[in-house]
Amino acid sequence: MFDKDTFIVGYDTKRGEKRGPRSRKADPKQLGLGDCIDCDLCVQVCPTGIDIRDGLQYECINCGACIDACDKTMDRMGYDKGLISYTTEHRLSGKHTKVMRPKLLGYGAVLLVMVGLFFAQVSAVDPAGLSVLRDRNQLFRVNSDGLVENTYTLKVINKTQQEQQYTLTVSGLEGATWYGRQTITVEPGEVYNLPMSLGANPDELSSPVSTIQFILSDSNDFSVQVESRFIKKL
């Protein structure tokens, strides 16, 4: 991803060398000096302690602290700013810098595709989840109304960042009686455990085990179904 047209913090060697101290009134050309007065401020302000004048180094974090320090020194001396600047290796060597180049456009296209895929995956995530756990200690019981009753624990997950109200229903069990809450409010990111049970007339059940669907829905027309079993009196 790095090439000679990549912007870096760089020192203009042609302009800065030969280094050396001088008075403000002195003409550096007559002294055989470049614009760098060798004050070492660029080294002192560098958080990694490198000397950018020695060339590009992997420790450089491109923070620009040395640029600001050098520009202030150039102002005090009456020289042009930019002895240390954001530049490219090509520009420092006197060549033309290509900003829009095939490699950069390719990286940009790949980045756009990755960002697009990320948002597509995020938008495809269901805003809520539902899981159903049967009571393993008791397959069924006959309640005081003479109905066969199965007990479940419904786990509702709110995956959104807002409080949501959900409605729970069941299908596949005609005339079923729902014991427990069917409308719940769940906080953002919360898992809500809802103990409940279903009752059914054993005479109306055609098989010992019925396949049923628990349905979770919200006010935004989202719904999710989870399959479970209802066991009647054997």
pLDDT of residue 67: 96
Contact indicator for 88, 40 with CB cutoff of 8 Å = no
The pLDDT confidence band at residue 99, using thresholds 50, 70 and 90, is low
Rounded to an integer, the average pLDDT of 44-65 is: 94
**What residue ranges do the domains of the chain occupy?**
8-119, 128-231
Q: How confident is the model at residue 1 (pLDDT cuts 50, 70, 90)?
A: low
Return the minimum-mean-pLDDT range out of 12-21, 93-102, 219-228: 93-102
- Short-list 195, 193, 127, CA closest to 156: 193
* pLDDT at res. 83: 96
Alpha-carbon dihedral sign for residues 22, 25, 29, 30 = negative
pLDDT of residue 219: 87
Predicted pLDDT of residue 80: 95
Mean pLDDT of the 150-154 span = 97
User: Are 45 and 69 spatial neighbours (Cβ–Cβ below 8 Å)?
Assistant: yes
Backbone angles phi, psi at 119, to 5 degrees: -70, -30
- Per residue in 83-92, pLDDT (tens digit) is 999 998 878 8
Residue 39 pLDDT exceeds 80: yes
Q: What pLDDT score does 108 carry?
A: 82
The two structure tokens encoding residue 65: 């602290």
128-231: CATH number: 2.60.40.10
As a whole number, the mean pLDDT across the chain is 91
Give the separation between CA 31 and CA 36, rounded to whole angstroms. Answer: 12
Across 94-98, 105-109, 192-196, 206-210, least confident range: 94-98
How confident is the model over 169-189, as a mean pLDDT?
Answer: 95
Q: Which pLDDT tens digit goes with each residue over 100-131?
A: 667 777 878 888 889 888 777 766 678 999 99
Q: Assess contact for 218 and 127: CB atoms under 8 A.
A: yes
What is the average pLDDT across 157-178? 94
